[in-house]
Amino acid sequence: MRPMKNLQRFLAGILALSVLLPSISLAAETTAFKDVPAGSPVAEAAEYLRSVGVLSGYPDPSDPSGQAALFRPDQKVNRAESIKIIIAPLLKPEALTQLTSTPFSDIKTGDWYLPYVEAARQNSIVDGPPAKTAFNGTKPVTKMEFIKMILLAYRIDPNSYSEISLPLSSDVIDPTAWFYPYLRYALTASMTMVTSEGTFDPGRELTRGDTALILYRFLMYRNGKRTQALLSESESEILIVLGSLKDNNPEQAEYASARALLAARGANAGAPNQPLVQGALKITEAFRAIVRAYRAGINQQFDESIRLCGDAWNLATRAKELSPGLANLSDQVQALAKNLADSARTAKAGPASP
């Protein structure tokens, strides 16, 4: 099946999903940390986490008054430090003082992080003996280790959204990977996004800035304050879908359509009664159907391609019903579905007789 001819016109006319809801911004105009630019995402996260006692700064040796503080956003975070960041807000100090021993072989009595690690072990946030005899507290924490520990600490079911089991990027292809359920949920909570290179880098070692952003976004999502970010992320992924189809790259389109669907599902879970959000979810479902139809056409499964285009059309109709403000975007989705279905019908019919 030939690539879509007229897909470029849909890129120019697509309605940005970010207009669906009022913009929600908690950006810090000032920062207590000298080494974090005011107004940056890290400043917003660091300020909030400082205000609730999760993170603190380091003294600035260049300030003789001792009033200035440094955040050191690029400093690597080890596993012991990451456990404290997660556990400290969840337990009262008196509860921590009662934890004076641990079965981990590499943690000695008196180590500052012992009570945090033992609290994590007792609450199944980290594996202990016999599964893991050592904690390795000085090792840098990786992205997916940190996300997994946060979600377990807050009793998030890793099987949430288990009906979606799709490759998400070039480095997250296997839905059976140990970290996949946690990454899937992290996308619905806007804890992490795909990089500009189209990867997630699940094994990347985290900095203080990284951990602040991930934890802050999760806490804001729990407070219902990440809906706009999730809609914007869904919009960005739809643009990637369109660009990938334009370039005849169905693999990247499939990755992006799965990510868009998860972002929209997360927005809908946070604002389930908002018609605009419900409509946006239907739009992402429609784009997922279009990507599947495109793939079916490439595989010469023309009847399946036509059926999926019909699904996309109906989903776009439902989006308009839920939110009339989505009519322009829904019409574009339907035009795209018709264009693709017509191409499948033409291919199915074969070359015209001479």
pLDDT in tens, 188-206: 999 999 999 999 999 999 9
Q: How far apart are CA 158 and CA 184, in angstroms?
A: 8
Distance set, CA 121 to CA 106, 116, 127, 188, 330 (Å): 14, 9, 6, 26, 49
Cβ(310)–Cβ(318) below 8 Å: no
Is 280 inside any structural domain? yes
* Burial class of 209 by CB neighbour count within 10 A (0 to 12, 13 to 18, 19+): buried
Is 258 inside any structural domain? yes
Q: How far apart are CA 209 and CA 351, in angstroms?
A: 58
Cβ(282)–Cβ(238) below 8 Å: no
Cβ(146)–Cβ(82) below 8 Å: yes
Task: From 152, 88, 89, select the one nearest 123 (Cα to Cα).
Answer: 152
Angle (deg, nearest 10), helices 302-322 and 275-298: 170
Cβ(18)–Cβ(231) below 8 Å: yes
Q: How far apart are CA 34 and CA 305, in angstroms?
A: 56
Is 241 inside any structural domain? yes
Q: How far apart are CA 330 and CA 316, in angstroms?
A: 5
pLDDT score at 353: 55
pLDDT in tens, the chain (354 residues): 444 444 434 434 433 333 343 333 444 455 678 899 888 899 999 999 988 888 888 888 877 665 668 999 999 999 999 999 999 889 888 999 999 999 999 999 999 999 999 999 999 999 999 999 999 999 999 999 999 999 999 999 999 999 999 999 999 999 999 999 999 999 999 999 999 999 999 999 999 999 999 999 999 999 999 999 999 999 999 999 999 998 899 999 999 999 999 999 999 999 999 999 999 999 999 999 999 999 999 999 999 999 999 999 999 999 999 999 999 889 999 999 999 999 999 999 887 555
49 Cβ partners below 8 Å, 6+ apart?
A: 55, 212, 215, 216
Domain count of the fold of the chain: 1
Task: From 211, 264, 278, 213, select the one nearest 235 (Cα to Cα).
Answer: 264
Is 63 inside any structural domain? no
Instruction: Count CA atoms closer than 13 A to 97's CA, side-chain side.
Output: 3
Helix (H) or strand (E) holding 291: helix 275-298
Look up residue 167 and give its two tokens. Answer: 């490759």
Is 352 inside any structural domain? yes
* Radius of gyration for the alpha carbons in the chain, expressed in angstroms and rounded: 24
Is 350 inside any structural domain? yes
Cβ(168)–Cβ(200) below 8 Å: yes
Domain limits for position 316: 1-24+226-354
Is 270 inside any structural domain? yes
Cis peptide bond N-terminal to 202, omega within 30: no
Q: How far apart are CA 209 and CA 16, in angstroms?
A: 29
Distance set, CA 326 to CA 202, 282, 341 (Å): 35, 10, 22
Is 188 inside any structural domain? no
Cβ(327)–Cβ(320) below 8 Å: yes
pLDDT digits (tens, 9 = 90+) for 331-346: 999 999 999 999 999 9
